[in-house]
Structure 1
Amino acid sequence: MNYTDITKLESCPECGANWVDKLIPQEHWENYSPPYFYSRVIGVELLGEDRINHWLCPDCKHQFPRGMG
């Protein structure tokens, strides 16, 4: 199984929706890794857990396992 960083994808692998939001201002790039944009993908935490449980597409609501991000 290949590891995919879901937060670096530009579109949903399930529905193709665009996940690229705003460009991160260049003066803040030192705090981020490429690509330098804010992602619309949603990290879902469950009550009582201190971690992302799964990722969610804001358009089709498809859930991606935590291991993808």
Structure 2
Amino acid sequence: MRKLDDSKEYCSYCGADLQGDQIPEEKQYHYGATHFTRKIGISSIEEDRIVKWQCPDCGREWERE
């Protein structure tokens, strides 16, 4: 099993740490990550997917890449 990167993310507006709690090691492979995210996903019913992210601290939004 490959080692997953501990990818830290920060809000580009307020600098808040967006890395959430650690995912239990035995479940990390299924999530493809070592930690949950604090980002809030904003979805579109029409597109049936997340189209933007929102910072839980400052409330600013940015487009999903």
Give TM-score scaled by structure 2 length.
0.74
Which of 34, 48, 51 is matched with 1:50 structurally?
48
Cα separation, partners in 2 of 1:22 and 1:59, compared to 1, 3 Å:
same
Which of 35, 38, 53 is matched with 2:36 structurally?
38
Q: Is the 8 A contact 2:8 2:17 kept in 1?
A: no
Identical counterparts, % of pairs: 37
Which structure has more helix as a fraction of its residues?
1
Superposition RMSD on alpha carbons, in Å? 1.6
Which structure has more strand as a fraction of its residues?
2
1:66 aligns with 2:56: no
Give the whole-Å Cα distance in 1 for the aligned partners of 2:8 and 2:54.
13
Structure 1's unaligned 5+ residue stretches are 1-7
Report how many residues are paired.
Answer: 59
User: Hey, what does 2:3 align to over in structure 1?
Assistant: none
Stretches of 4+ moved more than 6 A in 1?
none
